[in-house]
Amino acid sequence: MVFLLGALLFSWFLSSVLYIPFIQLLYNLRMQRLKQVTLDAFNKRTPIFDKFHQIKAGTPVGGGVLIILITTILFPLTLLLMKYFWIPITAVYPIAAEIKILLFTFISFGLLGFLDDLKKTFVLKSDFFGLRLRHKLILEIIIAAVISFWLVTDLHINIFYVPLFGVIHMGWWFIPFSMFTIISFANAFNITDGLDGLASGVLTIALLAFWIVSASILDTSLSVFLALWIGSLLAFLYFNVYPARIFLGDVGALSFGATFAVVGLILGKAPALIIIGFVFIIEVASSLIQLLSKKFFHKKVFPAAPFHLFLQYAGWPEPKIVMRFWILSIVFAAFGLFIAFLTKYPLP
């Protein structure tokens, strides 16, 4: 555990040092949130959102890139360092396969989000960069299918335990279940990432809960990955709290949401994943309800969606919303840990 804490602190320190020049680099590359006059050209005017967030135009986008780079580079180096110093590495699954799945998810969904960020910042209208919703969803399905296939074939994960009900054997049906989970959390995180410090703070709390679970089952590779990810995420959060100096962008949002889901699936804690990530579910559910209501009934259920935007519309200050979502996340994380350890030590 001492080594894991050291990895977290080193990742935090390295990220903290690099974020200041990285933010300046994003300014130089003009990777910034567009002004509304530019968005109007694409018929994407959203009056309620603009009312509260137009002031943020010009803020650099793409903070997730540095987190992905640092975590991806440090992850194998840290494991090699542990092996060099004869630090025990224990595993629940084949280590190489687990590393492959974690990094593939982290990077592939990050690249998909990066294409979206290019569209939003450089306003490139070509078919390649201008990812429409259906095109992005198709790519998400393909990537999630590959990851889910590996989970079943390489890690042999096809069951999960539900407290009071027992073990559910899904067999090959685990693949569509896993795909749905990964895609849902990728987009749920993206929707949640709408206020300064909201998504990144909620994710940090949720990952700390999963870190405790991974350490308890002695899955070293996953624990190292989470330690490095949390450390870099904490450094980003310092610059992302209100008023934010940098945003994650889709490159971070899609990557982190999908990887969060994969971590939960690897741990075999699907019920805990739902509870620990319940803030993300609230956000995506509110948007889905609003979308379906407008499509089929031609009226809104909420004045604004997702839920955090509705609270802004109701008059809640942005920092107040974020802090209360963080508190909710701590409660959900504690409850999720209770469920996770109930799974480990089921009631008689």
| Region 77-83 average pLDDT | 92
Other residues' Cβ atoms within 10 Å of the Cβ of residue 342: 15
pLDDT of residue 185: 96
> Nearest-5° angle of CA 77, CA 78, CA 79?
95
Give the residue, 109 or 56, on which the prediction is more confident.
Answer: 109
Task: Evaluate whether 35 touches 56 at the Cβ level (below 8 Å).
Answer: no
pLDDT of residue 182: 97
Given a cut of 50, whether residue 346 has pLDDT beyond it is no
pLDDT of 119-131, one tens digit each? 776 554 444 344 6
% of the chain with per-residue pLDDT over 70: 89
Q: Considering the entire predicted model, what is its pTM?
A: 0.91
pLDDT of 176-220, one tens digit each? 999 999 999 999 999 999 899 999 999 999 999 999 999 988 899
Given a cut of 50, whether residue 13 has pLDDT beyond it is yes
Give the residue, 1 or 241, on which the prediction is more confident.
Answer: 241
pLDDT of residue 226: 97
pLDDT of residue 75: 96
Rounded Cα distance between 339 and 203, Å, is: 18
| Region 135-152 average pLDDT | 94
pLDDT of residue 106: 97
Q: Got the DSSP string for 252-290?
A: HHHHHHHHHHHHHHHTT-HHHHHHHTHHHHHHHHHHHHH
Task: Evaluate whether 267 touches 221 at the Cβ level (below 8 Å).
Answer: no
